Amino acid sequence: MIPILARELTATLRSWRAVALQIGFLVVLGALVILRWPSEARVDIGGVASRQVFRIFGYGLLIGLMLVSPAFPATSIVRERLQGTLALLLNSPIGPVSLVFGKLLGSVGFVLVLVILSFPAAAACFAMGGIGLNEQLGGLYLVLVLLAIEYAAIGLLVSSIVRSTDAALRMTYAVILILAVGAMVPHFILKEIAWASPHVNDFARAIGSLSAIPAVMQAVGDTGVLSGNGSVPEVQRFAVGAVLVTLLCIAITSVRLGSRPMDRARDAGRITDERSARARVIRRIMFLWFFDPQRRSGLIAPWQNPVMVKEQRCRPMGRANWMMRLIGTYFVLSLLLVLGATTLSQSQGVTGVLSVIAVMQVSLIVLLAPSLASGLISAERESKGWQLLQMTPLSPATIVTGKLLSAFVPLALVMVATLPAYIALLALDPAQLRIALSIQITLVIFAIMAVLLSAGVGSLFRQTAAATAVAYAVIAALCIGTLFIWLGRDAPFTSGFVERVLTPNPLATTLSIIGTPGFSEYRLAPGNWYVMAAITVACGVLMLLQVARLGRPR
């Protein structure tokens, strides 16, 4: 375990990306504390200002670790497989358990360095007074350390399952999003249902405690989102859940590494067209014919873009059967949210569920767009396929258009799957038509911007993993990072400054259109539409310039 730990930690700390991440992490945390620092030379006896500074610091540290913690372990094992060194490690005297613990501690060690770098900012918050050393400051760091270990274990488990670095990052961040946000959804739905028994509500609250957000909210002094009569604090609930999830992920990863060869080829299966007539009829009825995953694909039509077809057929989630499963999942989920609206009063229920659906759509774009578009150019450069595309008779415009369409089409289909929820909500309250149209305009522009932003940023990198990670970071900074300025909307930031900062944020714009408390006083549309359109054009020009540069003879 010690050699693996030293190897992983040393290799991570020596990279220039790790140094840049440490500097950027320290600068951002320091800026959050300085921006919220009181500007008047007065003693705050009640500790209100110190709690405000500590709240900004705690949420900023939480989001930073949620973005950083899984990045390195998510690519650790799959990178060993791609480089051909995983077989050497498995055949060495180091056992699978020691290998997993070595990689886990190496990844967590780098995150702990970032946590240590946050101590000066935490000391500044504590020096203002009004913050408990054990309950608040100690509770916050306990949650963050457990979160780093848990997310690193999840990243290692995903890395042992997938076969590419970009897919590992995609799946890891999806699992973390479900664990951080989706775990609280059952509690919010069931607490408003009259027929739900107290035991069902307690079970939903226990599931919601798997998220670190309620524990951090309790540590920084905010009212917890998981309200209940339980006497166990949220920090302790999260600690128990994090330990269980971590041990489960470590056990599964160790079993996977020790029980079977990791490079075993998958069963190719049997093409449906080569089966008997009876089997072909059964499978076509079962899969509605055109969704059969084992049916031989047809020829590319003359009117189709061959690059788009190539991207769709080579991408696992781009196949029709997987797309239909994803669309059906979001269709059912959106209708379940509408069903939850019927349990509330008509006015509050429609507005509340409309906010939830809009946030779900924004989260969907944030999750899918970078994974679909960030590797359009970098994946070809990494796999040496760009030179093959240059030797084809296809023009650069056809190549770029086909790649962008391969990202737009799946995202558009998934977004369309949530439209029946809006239709059902409008049937409950037709007065929400104007709001629903404004939301859809915002989401359509945001989806186009997210795809072009991810493609433009990703075209600057040679490795798909780096392109995907940076694309996620940029879009998360746009949708989540600007909300830290919103948290300081009373002091020290003025209402006009907060409105200007929130203007590029599609999530804040959507909430302001709906009239969500805290955002209803800002008028972000249509200014947000113009800003996102400008960013879209700029990213499109950046991608075209990069493609033109890569297309030059060498």
Is it the case that residue 25 has pLDDT exceeding 60?
yes
Burial category of 550 from C-beta neighbours within 10 Å (exposed 0-12, middle 13-18, buried 19 and up): middle
| Average pLDDT estimate for 515-535 | 87
412 vs 401: CA distance, rounded Å: 16
241 vs 57: CA distance, rounded Å: 24
237 vs 234: CA distance, rounded Å: 5
**Tokens for 313?**
């057929």
524 vs 501: CA distance, rounded Å: 10
2 vs 5: CA distance, rounded Å: 5
Q: Per mean pLDDT, which of 392-401, 433-442, 466-475 is the most reliable?
A: 433-442
**172-186, 264-278, 374-388: the lowest-pLDDT one:** 264-278
Is it the case that residue 154 has pLDDT exceeding 70?
yes
Higher pLDDT, 150 or 230: 150
Is it the case that residue 280 has pLDDT exceeding 90?
no
CA distances from 314 to 42, 57, 541, 543 (A): 63, 43, 27, 22
CA distances from 33 to 126, 525, 533, 544 (A): 11, 30, 32, 39
Tell which phi-psi region holds residue 384, choosing left (phi > 0), alpha (psi between -120 and 50) or beta.
left
327 vs 314: CA distance, rounded Å: 19
pLDDT in tens, 102-138: 888 888 888 888 888 888 888 877 777 667 777 788 8
Is it the case that residue 95 has pLDDT exceeding 50?
yes
Higher pLDDT, 275 or 102: 102
pLDDT band of residue 448 (cuts 50, 70, 90) is: very high
Higher pLDDT, 141 or 92: 141
Q: What is the 3-state secondary structure (H, E, C) of 440-498?
A: HHHHHHHHHHHHHHHHHHHCCCCCHHHHHHHHHHHHHHHHHHCHHHHHCCCCCCCHHHH
Query: Under a CB-based contact definition with an 8 Å cutoff, are residues 323 and 290 in contact?
Result: no
User: If we measure between CA atoms, which residue out of 482, 475, 503 comes closest to residue 373?
Assistant: 475
| Average pLDDT estimate for 361-371 | 84
Is it the case that residue 3 has pLDDT exceeding 80?
no
Indicate the SS3 state at residue 262. Answer: coil
pLDDT at 421: 75
User: If we measure between CA atoms, which residue out of 260, 276, 214 comes closest to residue 241?
Assistant: 214
Largest CA distance in the chain: 85
| Residue type for position 447 | A
Burial category of 480 from C-beta neighbours within 10 Å (exposed 0-12, middle 13-18, buried 19 and up): middle
413 vs 424: CA distance, rounded Å: 19
Query: Under a CB-based contact definition with an 8 Å cutoff, are residues 33 and 2 in contact?
Result: no
pTM over 0.85: no
Give domain limits for the chain: 2-36+48-180+234-259, 304-550
Is it the case that residue 530 has pLDDT exceeding 90?
yes
Higher pLDDT, 292 or 6: 6
Taking only Cα atoms into account, the Rg of the chain, rounded to an integer number of angstroms, comes to 25
Tokens 């160790």 correspond to 254
CA distances from 164 to 104, 379, 524 (A): 19, 11, 40
Is it the case that residue 291 has pLDDT exceeding 70?
no
Is it the case that residue 319 has pLDDT exceeding 70?
no
Tell which phi-psi region holds residue 518, choosing left (phi > 0), alpha (psi between -120 and 50) or beta.
left
296 vs 317: CA distance, rounded Å: 17
pLDDT at 346: 45
